[in-house]
Amino acid sequence: MRKLLLLALAAVALTASAQPPSSLKDAYKDLFMMGVAVNQRNITDSAQSALVVREFSSMTAENDMKPASVHPRPDTWTWERADRIADFCRHHGIKLRGHTLMWHNQMCDWMFYDADHRFVSKDTLFQRMRQHIHTVVNRYKDIVYCWDVFNECIADGPRRLDADGHDQPLRESKFYQICHSDEFIRKAFEYAREADPDALLFYNDYNECDPVKCDRICTMIRSMKADGVPIDGIGMQGHYNIYGPSEADIENAVSRYADIVDHIHMTELDIRVNREMGGQLQHSDNAGATLTDTLLRRQQAQYAAVFRVMRRHADKVDCVTFWNLSDRDSWLGPDNYPLLFDRNYQPKPVYHTVRDFE
């Protein structure tokens, strides 16, 4: 009788192991977390929120925790949308990636100016940054496990020289125009660490597999870490397309980042079916409007390549986050078909490419 029971149990186990995993988070549970950037609809519509809970173990607020969203004026804090996302995570036991404490875009513009609309001094800017960072980090300390502290500080394009003839890789943002150095980035990390010694702190950027930009990111992070700036991780945004970056370039970038930091997150993954890439909309190529089998197959191949690299580096990669839930939600518009779920929130064939890897 006992033997029969054991055999039956073994048969059940065998059938279970032959089944594909039931979700993305399950498929990758021994490797890294699977995350998704959400808007308010995704967490209030019951079908969409069920999908989020079923598939993902980490969440990011697509827009609702950015400086302009929570702190539009010096004395005004607008927490409602960010709180709703944090509460959703608390309720469902999903981890929350904080995005983003500082950015040149969707920033509190008032931070840069005095009452006469002239740039404030560096010290005033730092004081305002510190107050912002401390307030936001403290509010979500219990649920946010890591923060993108600064987003997109490195310039794209050819090298440029500063007034002293030195190579200047930083974007010419208002932060830079006020500080004339990378001190604002260093300060932001220090303030975030003061506010929450337990959160992992990330520098996050796009076109991060481009060899020139990767070089600039590595040089900057290496020098900051050597000076004791508390940077724990690098966020590779992962706004790719079906033609690039190549698996070799992704591999090379991850290896180089892994030499410098212990934590790598892919923070904003999506794969367009045209030739555009990076963190901005370009609208130069509308190939996505006519979706062919060839494009779809290329997209599957590119997703497979990205996840091969991520799996190879699972010792340093803690989380891979898709930038939006479905093609309907994508910041790129639905005609780019960049995600794993279609505009009706159904899994596309590329979902299985990612989930059911060999």
The footprint of ligand 9MR (CB under 6 A) covers: 62-63, 105-106, 151, 206, 237, 268, 279, 331
The 8-class DSSP code of residue 37 comes to: E
Closest CA to 317 of 215, 238, 213, 225: 238
Closest CA to 99 of 73, 126, 130, 69: 69
Measure the CA–CA gap between 231 and 194, rounded to whole angstroms: 13
Three-state DSSP class for residue 2: helix
Q: Which is nearer to ligand 9MR, 173 or 353 (CB)?
A: 173
Q: Which is nearer to ligand 9MR, 267 or 353 (CB)?
A: 267
Strand residue runs (E) in the chain: 33-38, 58-61, 95-98, 102-103, 144-151, 200-205, 233-236, 239-241, 263-272, 317-322
Measure the CA–CA gap between 54 and 341, rounded to whole angstroms: 13
Q: Quickly tell me which residue has 């994508």 as its tokens.
A: 330
Residue 99 C-beta: closest distance to ligand 9MR, Å: 6
Q: Which is nearer to ligand 9MR, 62 or 190 (CB)?
A: 62
Residue 268 C-beta: closest distance to ligand 9MR, Å: 5
Residue 204 C-beta: closest distance to ligand 9MR, Å: 7
Q: Which is nearer to ligand 9MR, 49 or 237 (CB)?
A: 237
Tokens of 10: 């073994």
Residue 62 C-beta: closest distance to ligand 9MR, Å: 5
Measure the CA–CA gap between 96 and 60, rounded to whole angstroms: 6
Angle of helix 183-195 versus helix 211-226 axis, rounded to 10: 60
Active site residues: 152, 268
Tokens of 263: 């934590």
Q: Which is nearer to ligand 9MR, 68 or 301 (CB)?
A: 68
Residue 151 C-beta: closest distance to ligand 9MR, Å: 6
